[in-house]
Structure 1
Amino acid sequence: MLAQLPPGIRSRQVDNGNGLNVHILEAGFEQPGRECVLLLHGFPELAFSWRKVMLPLAEAGYHVVAPDQRGYGMTEGGDARYDGDISQYHFLNLVRDALGLVHVLGYDQVAAVVGHDIGSPVAGTCALTRPDAFRSVAMMSAPYPGPPSYRVDGQNGTQAIARLHADLAALEPPRLHYQRYFSQPDANTHMLACEQGLHDFLRAYFHMKSADWAGNQPAPLPSASAADLASMPTYYIMEQGKTMAETVAVAMPSAAEVAACGWLTEAELAVYTGIFADTGLQGGLQCYRSLGSAAAQAEMLLFAGRQITVPSCFISGASDWGTWQSPGALELMQRRVCTDLRSVDLIAGAGHWVEQEQPAVVVEALLGFLARQAGASGEKA
């Protein structure tokens, strides 16, 4: 991995005080006294996924820190067994991971926590629960709908999820939500030991969810019904009976397309392949199992009705279905969850991997977001 890191980014291990020996990448660490920006990746990603934005953020005056999150990469200590302790992956414990890391690095607070993909709701939960420590939040590619609410009709989130999965299975042909697939015991093996090999699986997966794949023409869905959700690409609403590796194989880019992919070269993809071949993907999949957990939902009910009051923004690729995969979530963020949502940027020429596909535009959006806060408070950006 180090050979693929730009000069100026260092790699090291840090004990976060919450049971992890965290692998982090850092930029801007040479000068003490800088404000910190914390970057939280998604699936199937790593701290390495932020390599293209770290140096520009550091050049703007920040200490930029990107950890391999619990269960990922070279971070040690997370229970990555399918039958292991899934409570470690509840969002509140992931907030403890982030907060512990921040304090170990010598900070009481960070200028911003930035989360992509499933790192987005983790970042949102950081800002929701500890606004004193996470002074602003940028959520990327996955709108954060806030904590669950108490229902006077006795229904809960897990019951609604179960009904949706039953409705998807009743379609013709039967369909399966990708989060349900990722929660199955064989998903890790399906991807690691797939027919095309792990490297080609990851290439096809990254390609199919990027702006490079012509099939990505996202738009808001009319409703959250099974029929409307099934209009999304099959990497979200899969054909029942197919693995994810089989699903994305049909979109495997040609040799010419691979050679032209400047945002993810073969050498860069080899970093993901090598690390996931060594560690497996189950640690990353644990978060998806936690999403549907009644215990995780019950924990978050403590914050029912609570809003994100610190400055916030949302960034996504214009070709990213992730913005719309949960109908109404973006509008809920704008209307109720975030009381100080400064901007919503849908970046042209980017799909789901926005910080890799269009890093310069993402950096511009993040620095503008941070500068507006500094200007409002009279501080130096």
Structure 2
Amino acid sequence: MEGIQHRMMNVNGITMHVAEKGQGPVILFLHGFPELWYTWRHQILALSSLGYHPVAPDLRGYGDTEAPTCITSYTCLHIVGDLIALIDSLGVEQVFLVAHDWGAIIGWYLCMFRADRVKAFVCLSVPFMPRKPKMKPVESMRLFFGEDYYICRFQEPGKIEAEIAHVGTSEVLKKVLSSREPGPPSLPKDNAFGIKPDTPVTLPSWFSEEDLSYYANKFNQNGFTGGLNYYRALDLNWGLTAPWTNVQVKVPVKFIVGDLDSVYTTPGIKEYVQSGGFKRDVPLLDEVVVMEGVGHFINQERAEEINSLIYDFIKKF
């Protein structure tokens, strides 16, 4: 894609695939689930043309990056360890950080553990989630949202992978990417993804058949288990991050979300973002941008606007 370069790097004991372009200050882009470095294709092209060096890895367990088999290899300490090793390999002290979905969660951990390596953070979709010391996250999700809540359904190894295989990778990716249902997302046991053979899913205008083919080929080659293991390590992360209970994240942040995002429309999230709780936990929160009529995959759906919002923020530093 128009001069995007690819290389394999050894970081933190694994081999990582990285896509990059341009020269200048590094912008580290972190993708979410079920995505790849490719989700940032529009941002890589735009920001490299403005004098930056965008770097978008396939995170551990995704795409062409190595995927350890054990769930215990997917804790926040492992993933942040990969990123610190990547930043070191790039030969820079600090990066601008742009992240979405699970990438955003990892981005918050990176800012929490190693704020010294992040100049500023543009966070898409998932706000900071302060650790709740009294209850493990999966247990609390079951209590609040029920057994069919998507994160609860992801917990049993092999189960959701089998359901995806039964329906087909392309069909599941189409359904997930085109969904605009408000949260909390649920996956009923009789038909997890709500796919009906007589009602084909239409791709959104911002995601082409070529894009779908790229995603589907990578997930067909390497499976979904690596990405799902991030969810399966949630309770492990909760235990490991006990020392950071009540910590503030002290990195300059711009938060961008769509008003139709299933995360933002999950009970409690909008209230936390808008009521001052988010600003209390992230005191250098510069701005919250809520984009109207936009779903979860915001950096692809509104690529040009997101490119401008990223640039307008990072050029201050």
Task: Give the TM-score of the pair, scaled to structure 2.
Answer: 0.91
Give the corresponding residue for 1:27.
21
2:253, 2:285 within 8 Å by CA — same for their partners in 1?
Answer: yes
CA distance in 2, matches of 1:20, 1:14: 8
1:320, 1:351 within 8 Å by CA — same for their partners in 2?
Answer: yes
> Alpha carbons of 1:341 and 1:133: their partners in 2 closer, same or farther (altered >3 Å)?
same
Q: Does 1:73 align with 2:57?
A: no
The DSSP-based 3-state class of the residue aligned with 2:117 is: coil
Give the corresponding residue for 1:113.
97
1:7 partner amino acid: E
Aligned structure 1 segments of 4 or more residues deviating by more than 6 angstroms: none
1:123, 1:138 within 8 Å by CA — same for their partners in 2?
Answer: no
Q: Give the C-alpha shift of residue 318 in structure 1.
A: 2.5
1:145, 1:332 within 8 Å by CA — same for their partners in 2?
Answer: no
The DSSP-based 3-state class of the residue aligned with 1:70 is: coil
The DSSP-based 3-state class of the residue aligned with 2:112 is: helix
CA distance in 2, matches of 1:48, 1:311: 26
The DSSP-based 3-state class of the residue aligned with 1:309 is: coil
Q: Give the C-alpha shift of residue 149 in structure 1.
A: 4.7
Give the corresponding residue for 1:94.
79
The DSSP-based 3-state class of the residue aligned with 1:323 is: coil
1:71, 1:284 within 8 Å by CA — same for their partners in 2?
Answer: yes
Give the corresponding residue for 1:228.
none
1:156 partner amino acid: M
CA distance in 2, matches of 1:318, 1:52: 22
Q: In the alignment, which of 295, 300, 305 is matched to residue 241 of structure 2?
A: 300
Q: Deviations over 1:194-217 (max 9, x none)?
A: 2xx2212211221114xxxxxx4x
Q: How does 1:116-155 map onto structure 2 within 5 Å? A: 116-146=100-130, 148-150=131-133, 155=134
The DSSP-based 3-state class of the residue aligned with 1:356 is: helix
Q: How does 1:165-314 map onto structure 2 within 5 Å? A: 165-166=142-143, 168-169=145-146, 176-185=148-157, 186-194=159-167, 197-209=168-180, 216=181, 218=182, 232=183, 236-239=185-188, 241-245=189-193, 247-249=194-196, 257-258=202-203, 261-291=204-234, 293=235, 295-314=236-255
The DSSP-based 3-state class of the residue aligned with 1:316 is: strand
2:97, 2:107 within 8 Å by CA — same for their partners in 1?
Answer: yes
Q: Does 1:12 align with 2:7?
A: yes
> Alpha carbons of 1:164 and 1:266: their partners in 2 closer, same or farther (altered >3 Å)?
closer
1:21, 1:75 within 8 Å by CA — same for their partners in 2?
Answer: yes
Q: Does 1:327 align with 2:265?
A: no
> Alpha carbons of 1:290 and 1:354: their partners in 2 closer, same or farther (altered >3 Å)?
same
- 128-137 or 67-76, which deviates more: 128-137
1:201, 1:249 within 8 Å by CA — same for their partners in 2?
Answer: no
Q: Give the C-alpha shift of residue 298 in structure 1.
A: 1.9
CA distance in 2, matches of 1:354, 1:90: 26
Q: In the alignment, which of 138, 148, 156 is matched to residue 135 of structure 2?
A: 156
1:145, 1:333 within 8 Å by CA — same for their partners in 2?
Answer: no
1:180 partner amino acid: C
1:115, 1:138 within 8 Å by CA — same for their partners in 2?
Answer: yes
Number of residues of Structure 1 aligned to a counterpart in Structure 2:
313
2:279, 2:285 within 8 Å by CA — same for their partners in 1?
Answer: no
CA distance in 2, matches of 1:205, 1:251: 18
Q: Give the C-alpha shift of residue 64 in structure 1.
A: 0.3
Q: Deviations over 1:259-317 (max 9, x none)?
A: xx4311001100011010010000000000111x2x32121111122211110011112
Q: Deviations over 1:96-137 (max 9, x none)?
A: 111110111111211x11110111110011111111111211
2:127, 2:278 within 8 Å by CA — same for their partners in 1?
Answer: no
1:204, 1:252 within 8 Å by CA — same for their partners in 2?
Answer: no
Supply the RMSD in Å over aligned alpha carbons.
2.1
CA distance in 1, matches of 2:313, 2:172: 35
1:165 partner amino acid: R
Q: Give the C-alpha shift of residue 13 in structure 1.
A: 0.9
Q: In the alignment, which of 50, 53, 67 is matched to residue 40 of structure 2?
A: 50
Q: Give the C-alpha shift of residue 253 in structure 1.
A: 5.1
Q: Give the C-alpha shift of residue 87 in structure 1.
A: 2.4
CA distance in 2, matches of 1:201, 1:41: 18
The DSSP-based 3-state class of the residue aligned with 2:60 is: coil
1:347, 1:361 within 8 Å by CA — same for their partners in 2?
Answer: no
2:127, 2:255 within 8 Å by CA — same for their partners in 1?
Answer: yes
Pair member with larger Rg: 1
The DSSP-based 3-state class of the residue aligned with 1:15 is: strand
Q: Deviations over 1:10-43 (max 9, x none)?
A: 1211111x11211111011xx4xx2110000000
Q: Give the C-alpha shift of residue 166 in structure 1.
A: 4.7
Q: Give the C-alpha shift of residue 244 in structure 1.
A: 2.8
The DSSP-based 3-state class of the residue aligned with 1:71 is: coil
Q: Give the C-alpha shift of residue 249 in structure 1.
A: 4.4
The DSSP-based 3-state class of the residue aligned with 2:315 is: helix
> Alpha carbons of 1:299 and 1:264: their partners in 2 closer, same or farther (altered >3 Å)?
same
Q: In the alignment, which of 31, 35, 38 is matched to residue 28 of structure 2?
A: 38
> Alpha carbons of 1:312 and 1:253: their partners in 2 closer, same or farther (altered >3 Å)?
farther
2:155 partner amino acid: S
Q: In the alignment, which of 267, 272, 286 is matched to residue 342 of structure 1?
A: 286
Matched residues, percent identical?
28
Q: Give the C-alpha shift of residue 371 in structure 1.
A: 2.1
